[in-house]
Amino acid sequence: MDAAAHPISAASGPLRCLPLDDGQRTLLHNEVHARPPARIRLPALIVFVAVLNEGISRERECEHLRQLPGQAGLSPEQLQGNFLRLRFEGHTLKWERHTEFTRYSIVQALPDGAGLGSVNPDLMAQLVVPPEWLATLPGRTVAAIQMVMLNADLPEQTTEAQAALMGPARSWFGRSNLVASQMGGGHSWALTDFALRADGFERMLVIAPPGTTETRVGRISQRLLEFETYRLMALRGLPVAKALSPLLGQAEQQLAHITAELENKSSSEQALLDQLVSLAAGVERATAEHVYRFAATRAYDRLVTQRIAELRERPIPGTQTMGEFMQRRLSPAMATVAATEQRLTSLSERVSRASALLRTRVDIVTETQNQQLLAKLTRGQDLQLQLQTTVEGLSIAAISYYVISLLLYLAKAGKAAGLPLHPELAAGALVPLVLWAVWRTTRRIHERLHHAD
């Protein structure tokens, strides 16, 4: 067989025994590698900022990234994958674009004097990017975190040993109320106060034992940063739920009033319909405006739960774990959002049922009116039939009169012609016969019309 007739065997390189690829196969296959965690060498400082990107194009974000040293040739096509890592001398910058927000992560060496023995250190004094570049990121800030990751020997699993490490950690944060966890079943520590400082950042401290690999440090940082970002994004549904609560209460009262009026037969259907249409329009407008926010809140809440589970936390005596803190703080907010969403959905369904009841009432009224109109039409037809019968009797008399008149003239003409006739007697004698003939003719016409119908 000719090799050209068998493209599989003729192709150079590895043998490919597959049909042609789907157009999106490579894209979908590589999605799992789209946002790989960074390799971080300890000790390190991570400056993380997440900004809402509504109305912000990739071209605008690319233009801002071009302002960094050596990035003048950066093109928007390089940002189409929604992930980009820029490497500089001594630090890296990661750009990630999501549906609602864009994340910027700067990984640099830990500044001097920012280690575990310091007291409330200034982490931005040696920032590797210009502060004005960070301040002019396109978008509105939704999360900003300064994360310090360093090596230190972790204490034994005793209360006294762990308290000895918590003392310097509290001094590092400059406050005593901390949320702390042993992550990875006790492999490393993560501490935070979940507090916004004067510079707009919150702080996290990660302590890992010597020998922790760079890839594992990268995964730890990614989970913590995603966990906090998704927490804040999930909470964006709470102000919406609180703002909707009084409007929903007012709508529920209005619906209860309309439903009560449906039982009152004297109420105007048109007035009830106008009120119900106005209420339904308001409810549907609120649903259309906020359905995405509620759905996004549910999705972000699930992501927070997943990231907390991935941390595999163990408690540190005297502190709450991050999972416990979220359970007590985030769960009530998410319950409020879920209850408001359910309340809005229930109100929409109740408005639909009230509309169905009103339509039933209108249909019943319309049916009654139609029956009354039909009765009037039937009565009118009966009267018309009676009138028609009367007119028909008069018509028979009139036609008979004209026929007899013609016969009278005919008899008079015969008498004038010499026939032995008495015109008046002849006409009078023919009256019964003429009446019967006209009536019979009319009946035959009726029978032919009925037969045709």
Q: Decide if pLDDT at 27 tops 90.
A: no
pLDDT at res. 50: 97
- Among 4-18, 120-134, 431-445, the range scoring the smallest mean pLDDT is 4-18
Mean per-residue pLDDT, 46-68: 95
The one-letter amino acid code at 173 reads F
pLDDT at res. 32: 66
Q: Decide if pLDDT at 8 tops 50.
A: no
* Bridge partners, residue 205, by sequence: 148, 191
Domain boundaries, the chain: 35-217, 237-372, 378-452
- The secondary structure of residue 78, as a DSSP letter, is G
- Among 16-20, 33-37, 87-91, 432-436, the range scoring the smallest mean pLDDT is 33-37
pLDDT at res. 343: 92
* CATH number 1.10.150 is the correct assignment for the domain at 237-372: no
Kindly report the backbone phi and psi dihedral angles of residue 104, in degrees, each rounded to the nearest multiple of 5, phi listed first: -120, 125
Q: Is the dihedral of CA 407, 412, 417, 422 positive or negative?
A: positive
pLDDT at res. 341: 92
Q: Decide if pLDDT at 153 tops 50.
A: yes
pLDDT at res. 149: 95
Q: Decide if pLDDT at 130 tops 80.
A: yes
pLDDT at res. 94: 95
pLDDT at res. 361: 74
Structure tokens that stand for 93 in this block: 């910058």
Task: Encode pLDDT of 249-302 as tens digits.
Answer: 999 898 888 888 877 777 777 888 888 888 888 888 998 999 999 999 999 999
* Tokens 């009654």 -> residue: 368
pLDDT at res. 19: 87
Task: Encode pLDDT of 373-396 as tens digits.
Answer: 888 888 887 777 777 777 777 777
pTM for the complete prediction? 0.76
H or E stretch covering 293: helix 269-311
Task: Encode pLDDT of 331-377 as tens digits.
Answer: 999 999 999 999 999 888 888 888 887 777 777 777 877 888 888 88
- Among 130-144, 226-240, 339-353, the range scoring the smallest mean pLDDT is 339-353
pLDDT at res. 5: 45
> What is each CA distance from 35 to 32, 97, 196, 218, 342, in whole angstroms?
8, 10, 28, 12, 35
pLDDT at res. 441: 83
Mean per-residue pLDDT, 112-138: 91
Q: How confident is the model at residue 34 (pLDDT cuts 50, 70, 90)?
A: low
- Using DSSP's 3-state secondary structure scheme, residue 83 falls into strand
Percent of the chain with pLDDT over 90: 44
- Is the distance from CB of 221 to CB of 94 less than 8 angstroms? no
Mean per-residue pLDDT, 225-240: 94
pLDDT at res. 263: 75
Average pLDDT, the chain: 86
Say how many C-beta atoms besides its own lie within 10 A of residue 203's C-beta: 21
